[in-house]
Chain A
């Protein structure tokens, strides 16, 4: 997995899992929220770092109870023109006071990176194909060139 965070490209020690992999302790596991819910009684945190994948249908208020177990929330963007993920991040940060890590996964491109960061998203998961067209320098440049948003000043 490739991640752009703080303007740097990295390969974080996390994997997307459809189900809990009890044999993997070396990496964090990002589980579908449904899987996380089904397994929470089995103390998923014993497998190491745990993150969840959420989408627009996830009832965010229900997650509050698990904030202290979660090291990461990954918001799925269905497409780059679907801006719901920005409001999900806004709601997590502003309404629900979630202070952990948030990543975006899906199809965001470089010029949306500043918007994501301003909404409280820490990192964007990117694929190789996109990186070929838009290397990490473009993502850094997008942050540098994006005019400031007055409300944040």
Chain B
């Protein structure tokens, strides 16, 4: 993991003091509410339906065991004993008192964490592939680049008051687990024909009211030019992004209205004028790479007999291995996905006890590392295969052993109207009902991987546009109803799902999802995935099944 240097440390300490002073000045009236609002948002603090909510950044999803312990302590000390891991690799605490937030930030700073720019019209928490540094399918670890962007964007004076929020994601793999094509900027680490490192840059992706898949801004940018190119891109956006309508203020609208060629030309012109004066990427990135310690992997045998034996003798364990465990780049290790989606639970929620337990498990089994995923789950990235059995037993004991990673009960859900003041419908109860409906492990196995994502309003925090089955909660005449969206994809074949037709009541929407799944089971060839069957058939048969009673 990255180790903070003295500069990083001082920055988070100073930021906590600065925010304390801002809160004091807000209370005294020196800052009015309009002035205080962007300041608190740039420290991750929202005023929600019931209380203040703090969104804490977990840069590129990486947590150490001591950091996870601190999150557990914070849950008990300042909140109601739990926290919520989000689709952008953050954690949110929902029941805070304003005057205690500065003290909370001091506690966070003790473990090198912060809430800087986890909200506001600025560059947000940079996200990355949760398997970074562990997966065999990456050409390079994306985390040093993500850390570079965290450092470069943190308190960037020019980009603190952008037209709208700005999200960047990075992957080192062609298997996109970071959803880079639905971010304002998506970076893919690539090599040119000579093997020199660089980036393929996507721009203008995003969800919300106007979902769009990003387009290629630059097919290959040499690694050393990254910061200059991003400064140029952000400057063009800051100067020309729309400010007359917040729903049209994201960079996707600017690139769409200008046309990608025109936008690219403007970025290129700005880039040419600053490329010698912008911060140099190369030395900065090298310094960061030096601060990423390589985990102390052991030399392990290629075949793990203990794993083979337990997999053969214990079908529940075998199922968990099949769904939740992935190949590691180092022989004898595995990547273990830890589900925060127990059947009937709240997606992404973890209690303080679970956080402490996970920290202990990370210490014991995963070289003290934990990752947060965009699917509101966690990952123990470096587990010896011989430890998988013990890990699984321990997870079972704490309600963290659900064998459903990527399966139909692994539903992504925003907090919805249970917490969020923007929501128009509840998301959590619907995700719980779906998980219960498809709880049977054998049924889940039969269905195979399906990504269901639910948002409680058009702002799409539950990413419904990119669910293979997306559900959008809306409100009409005081009643909640739910639109079903089909065929979305957040990976390398990114696609925005299509609305199937009229919405369903809260009592009917789970039956409707079941009709989609039944149709799939009837149509599929042996072993065919939902996503492949949808591509083969299109919406036709699913729509027919959804509205069969009309």
A residues with a Cβ closer than 8 A to B are 56, 80-84, 86-91, 94-96, 109, 111-112, 114-116, 118-119, 133-134, 138, 141, 145-151, 153
Q: Does A83 contact B162, Cβ atoms closer than 8 Å?
A: yes
Q: Please, which residues of chain A bring their CB within 8 A of the CB of B161?
A: 80-83, 86, 112
Judge whether A149 and B17 touch: CB under 8 Å: no
B3 at the interface (CB under 8 A from A): no
Task: Output the least CB separation between B189 and chain A (Å).
Answer: 22
- Chain B residue nearest to A91 (CB atoms) is B235
Contact residues of B between 31 and 47, Cβ < 8 Å to A: 31-32, 35, 38-39
**B157-A115 in contact (CB<8A):** yes
If A56-B239, A111-B39 touch, whether A151 touches B30 (CB-CB below 8 Å) is no
Contact yes or no, A95 B32, CB < 8 A:
no
Chain B residues engaging chain A, CB cutoff 8 angstroms? 7, 10-12, 14-15, 17-18, 21-22, 25, 29-32, 35, 38-39, 121, 151-152, 154-162, 235, 238-239, 243, 270, 273-274, 277-279
Residue among A87, A96, A150 making CB contact with B235, cutoff 8 Å? A87
Q: Is the CB of B25 within 8 A of A138?
A: yes
Indicate which residue in A83, A116, A153 contacts B238 across the interface (CB closer than 8 Å): A83
Complex Cα–Cα for A147 and B161 (A): 17
Please list the 4 inter-chain residue pairs (A to B) with the smallest Cβ-Cβ separation, ordered nearest first.
Answer: A83-B161, A118-B157, A147-B14, A115-B157
**7 pairs, CB–CB < 8 Å, chain A vs chain B:** A87-B158, A91-B235, A119-B157, A119-B158, A133-B31, A133-B32, A147-B10
Helix, strand, loop or mixed for chain B's interface? helix
Residue of A nearest to B236 (CB): A87
**Chain A, Cβ-Cβ closest to B237:** A87
Q: How far is the CA of A141 from the CA of B18 in the complex (A)?
A: 9
Q: Distance (Å) between the CB of A109 and the closest chain B CB?
A: 5
Q: Once bound together, how far apart are the Cα atoms of A41 and B11, in whole Å?
A: 51
Cβ 8 A contact of B160, one of A90, A96, A115, A148: A115
Contacts of B21 in A (CB 8 A): 141, 145
For residue B29, which residues in chain A have a CB less than 8 angstroms away from its CB? 133
> Are B11's CB and A147's CB within 8 A?
yes
CB distance from A59 to the nearest CB of B (A): 12
Contacts of B18 in A (CB 8 A): 145-147
Docked CA distance A96–B278 (Å): 13
Indicate if the CB atoms of A111 and B31 lie closer than 8 Å: yes
The residue in chain A whose Cβ has the minimal distance to the Cβ of B42 is A111
Taken together as a complex, chains A and B put the C-alpha atoms of A90 and B32 apart, in Å, by 28
Nearest B-chain residue to A149, judged by Cβ:
B155
B155–A147 touching, CB < 8 Å: yes
Cβ contact within 8 Å between A145 and B155? no
| Chain A, Cβ-Cβ closest to B238 | A87
